Chain A
Amino acid sequence: MKPSMTSERFTAVQLMELDACTRCNECLNWCPVYEEINTGQFTPAELPEGRTATEQEALAYSPRNRIMVLKDFINKGYGWRARLFGPKHIPEEDILKFKDELYHCTTCGACGSVCEAGIDTVEIWESARANMVINERGPYGKQSGFIDLLKSYNVFAADQKDRLCWIPEDIHVEDTAEVGYFTGCTAAYRMQKVGVATVRVLDALGIPFTMLGEEEWCCASVAVRTGQLGIAKEFVDHNVNAAKKKGIKKMVYACAGCHRTSIIDWPKFYEGGELPFKVYALSEYLCELMDEGKLKPEDFKFKNSLDKVVTFHDSCHTGRHVGIYEQPRRILELIPGIKLVEMERNRSYQRCCGAGGGIKAGVSDLALKLAQERVRDAEEVGAEMITCTCPFCRRNIMDGINAMDTNVVFEDEMVLLAEAMGLDLTVPQNPYTDKNM
Chain B
Amino acid sequence: MTDGLLIFGKTIWNMLFIDWRIMAISAVLAVIVFLLGIYLQLKKWGEGSRAYGGPSQSGSVWAFLKTLVHRIRKESGSKVINILVMDVFLQRRTFKADKLRWFMHICILYGWIGLAFLSMAVTTSYEMYGVFIANDHEMFPNAWIMLEPAFDFLSYMLLIGIAIAFGRRLFSKDTRAFSDETDWILIALLILVVASGFYAQYLRETTDITVRMLTSEYPAEYYGSFGNSFTIFHEVFSLFAMVAYIPYSKFMHIIASPLAILASGGGKK
Q: Are these two chains actual partners, yes or no?
A: yes
Where the two chains meet, the residues of A that have a C-beta atom closer than 8 Å to any C-beta of B are: 7-17, 19-26, 28, 55, 59, 64, 74-75, 78-80, 83, 109, 112-120, 123, 127, 130, 229, 268-269, 273, 320, 323, 348
Complex alpha-carbon distance, A64 and B93, angstroms:
17
Distance to closest chain B CB from A271 (angstroms):
12
Once the chains bind, are A118 and B43 in contact (CB under 8 Å)? no
Interface residues on B, range: 35 or more
Q: Any chain A CB within 8 A of the CB of B67?
A: yes
Closest 10 CB pairs of A and B: A118-B267, A12-B48, A20-B260, A118-B261, A20-B256, A19-B256, A80-B40, A117-B257, A7-B47, A15-B48
Complex alpha-carbon distance, A228 and B31, angstroms:
44
Once the chains bind, are B256 and A118 in contact (CB under 8 Å)? no
Distance to closest chain A CB from B112 (angstroms):
14
| Interface contacts beyond A12-B57, A16-B45, A120-B267: sample of 6 additional A-B pairs, CB < 8 Å, sorted by A | A12-B50, A13-B263, A14-B48, A16-B260, A83-B44, A116-B93
Complex alpha-carbon distance, A55 and B47, angstroms:
34
Residues of B contacting A26 in the complex (Cβ-Cβ under 8 angstroms): 97-98
Once the chains bind, are A12 and B63 in contact (CB under 8 Å)? yes
Also in contact, A80 and B253, with CB within 8 A (given A10-B48, A10-B49): no
Question: What are 19 residue pairs bridging A and B, where the CB atoms are less than 8 Å apart in the complex?
Answer: A11-B48, A11-B49, A13-B67, A16-B64, A16-B259, A16-B260, A19-B41, A59-B178, A64-B178, A75-B44, A78-B59, A79-B40, A80-B37, A80-B40, A80-B41, A113-B268, A114-B97, A118-B263, A118-B264
Name B97's contact: one of A16, A116, A119, A269 (CB within 8 Å): A116
Q: Any chain A CB within 8 A of the CB of B248?
A: yes
Once the chains bind, are B260 and A25 in contact (CB under 8 Å)? no
Name B253's contact: one of A20, A78, A109 (CB within 8 Å): A20
Complex alpha-carbon distance, A109 and B253, angstroms:
21
Complex alpha-carbon distance, A116 and B67, angstroms:
22
Q: Any chain A CB within 8 A of the CB of B252?
A: yes
**B46-67 CB contact bits vs A (8 Å, 1 = yes)?**
1111111110110100011001
Distance to closest chain B CB from A218 (angstroms):
19
Once the chains bind, are B71 and A13 in contact (CB under 8 Å)? yes
Q: Any chain A CB within 8 A of the CB of B250?
A: yes
Residues of B contacting A59 in the complex (Cβ-Cβ under 8 angstroms): 178
Once the chains bind, are B52 and A268 in contact (CB under 8 Å)? yes
Distance to closest chain B CB from A170 (angstroms):
42
Once the chains bind, are A348 and B41 in contact (CB under 8 Å)? no
Name A118's contact: one of B52, B87, B101, B247 (CB within 8 Å): B87
Distance to closest chain B CB from A364 (angstroms):
27
Distance to closest chain A CB from B174 (angstroms):
7
Complex alpha-carbon distance, A24 and B168, angstroms:
12
Residues of B contacting A75 in the complex (Cβ-Cβ under 8 angstroms): 44
Complex alpha-carbon distance, A22 and B91, angstroms:
12
**B236-269 CB contact bits vs A (8 Å, 1 = yes)?**
0000000000011010110011011101101111
Q: Any chain A CB within 8 A of the CB of B14?
A: no
Residues of B contacting A127 in the complex (Cβ-Cβ under 8 angstroms): 52
Residues of A contacting B263 in the complex (Cβ-Cβ under 8 angstroms): 13, 16-17, 118
Once the chains bind, are A119 and B267 in contact (CB under 8 Å)? yes
Residues of B contacting A15 in the complex (Cβ-Cβ under 8 angstroms): 44-45, 47-48
Distance to closest chain A CB from B158 (angstroms):
17
Once the chains bind, are A118 and B260 in contact (CB under 8 Å)? yes
Name B178's contact: one of A19, A25, A112 (CB within 8 Å): A25
Complex alpha-carbon distance, A173 and B74, angstroms:
38
Q: Which of B50, B94, B183, B263 has the most CB of A within 10 A?
A: B263
Distance to closest chain A CB from B29 (angstroms):
17
Complex alpha-carbon distance, A231 and B219, angstroms:
78
Once the chains bind, are B68 and A13 in contact (CB under 8 Å)? yes
Residues of B contacting A79 in the complex (Cβ-Cβ under 8 angstroms): 40, 44
Complex alpha-carbon distance, A109 and B50, angstroms:
22
Q: Which of A83, A116, A120 has the most CB of B within 10 A?
A: A116
Name B94's contact: one of A28, A64, A116, A130 (CB within 8 Å): A116
